[in-house]
Structure 1
Amino acid sequence: MRTLGVVLGNRSYPIHIGSNLLKKLPELLAPLTLGQKVLLVTDTNVWPLYGQQVETVLLEAGYRVTTERVPAGETTKTLQQAERLYDAALGQMLDRTCPVVALGGGVVGDLAGFVASTYMRGVPFIQIPTTLLAQVDSSVGGKVAVNHPRGKNMIGSFYQPKGVIIDVHTLQTLNDRELRAGLAEVIKCGIIWDAAFFAWLEEHLTGLLQRNPELLARVVEICCQIKAAVVEQDETEQGRRAILNCGHTIGHAVEHQSGYGTYLHGEAVAIGMNIEARLARNLGLLTPGEAERIQGLLLRAGLPVELPADRRALEMLQSMYADKKATGDQLTFALPAGIGACKVIRGLDELEVKKVLDL
């Protein structure tokens, strides 16, 4: 097992990475001084794979566990599902020491984290991510939210977990589509932060797609190190952290217009990164060769790279203006500035965006 740290003063927390860590949950949770009542949140896909195991391990360790299974998929990130979890917490009389434990992918983590951040004005939150995307990205950094019909993640907060426990063995049961979607956020880390890591991914992508355990563990650790470094510099996205939004301005617009759940988040981000790479190329931030390398790696990962054929470009543009990253009616993009670097651009000329949207 490897343990990393996210250093944020009294909000600091460990990230444990290893195989078969689900069996070691009691000893990993023990230092966190949690209450004995636990609200375990998982989804209908994860429950039969790992939910019963985690519930049993916690019960045998003396925890009093209430398990809530939510429907799998992005459409679950709603205030209605959050209310259901509040009802469960109140029904079991969970107090401010009792943790909410998220077992699943990014949807479960976002929803459970939002509930933890708002129930009794904040209770302990534990992340146990089971998808590659959640392990390398959404479980670290404290962004928790639910969606609104007018925009993705529009209702949420910054709320750091007490700990993140990543059992990379869970990736062996992940379906191929989810694995590839997770690789989009992995590739993003290379694009925005580490050119050598991007080159390493180009060399080892086949092994990752074949689920080589050592390669997957290495990728998870590197991406968590990058995410932690960015979050430590800018916890609440006042500046530097915005680079993590590379691909997300267009990606969120794709998700919103297509209907949540049509594209997995990583698939939409892959489209966003490719189109935004073209935008960066047009602006002179990226060479044509670098843009081709980005598209090539995304394609090799089996990810979509083009906007939906039935896209409504004007509506996509309107969605970008409604995005929470936009300020003062100005579009905001985190664009690659060469592979391994990123530049946040606010107030981008709308005409440049229209070019890559084919308007």
Structure 2
Amino acid sequence: MQAITQDTYGSTDTLTLRDVDAPVPGAGQVLVRVRAASVNAADWHVMRGDPRIARLALGLRRPKARIRGRDVAGVVAAVGAGVTHVQPGDEVYGEAGAADGAFAEFACLPAGQVAPKPAGSTFEQAAAMPLAGCTALEGLRDHARLTAGQRVLVNGAAGGVGTFAVQIARALGAEVTGVCSTRNVELVRSLGADVVDYTVEDVTARTDRYDVVFDLVGNRRLRELRGLLTDGGTLLLAGGGVWDGGSLLGPIRLLVTGAVVGRLLRQRIVTFTATPTTERLTALAELFGSGAVTPVVDRTYPLAQVPEAIRHVETGHARAKTVVVVP
């Protein structure tokens, strides 16, 4: 099969389209014939080995996983022992987890991170949903326990996770404000949010207070984000950052600080890395089916152009989701 592989940390120049052996599903795994995949910030973080402290898990000298990519939509080719909720021939979507492997013609996924593709969705739409959609859903539904009538601020509302966060918060009955740049104002407004254009207004200078602040950018100090919350509000921290030459800690610094400080406050500070479980993927599919959530796909690239797709996303100014189409 063809796959985008990487043998050393670095820029997109380290990515190569090669013929490699197709994976074989083990127990509890699903082999998917990939029809589409999508690009996430996680892909360039792994590609760069950035922040450097993450190499303790990713691989000290080179990535342990040679094939990049996490989000997948396609058709089940085979299943390993113990997998019963999907069968060969089923159209599915899911996430490969730390093993990566989505930017290829075939990918093995943990069965617990695979679900039937949302009815009526294209493969491109489905591929855009797993990691970004589940990050938004897990943050708002599971960690913030968002309820109808609450007020939510999404910092980074035009990004991959942000476009889902706005829609899911609206579906849960919240009043949503999104922070974005001028060129994305109409997009974020069309998703149902009031908009703060950060090129015109500093959101931290506002007197408005929110029950939930979902920070997806990592460009604010913790005290600034806390200042936007009500006394008993919840701050969700889920990464962020752009490639700026590399760092030791990057957005992990804010996440660690938040985890420590949060133990001392009435306000809740939740730091998390999303897990796209079958339950969350099924819930996302239901939101898609009801019309409450529609993936926003800004650009598509063929498999051979994955380096260009990742380069587009790692600048930090990509709109919504970037999808890779696999013939």
* TM-score of the alignment, normalized to the shorter chain, above 0.5: no
TM-score, normalized by length of structure 1?
Answer: 0.28
Greater helix content = 1
More strand by proportion, 1 or 2? Answer: 2
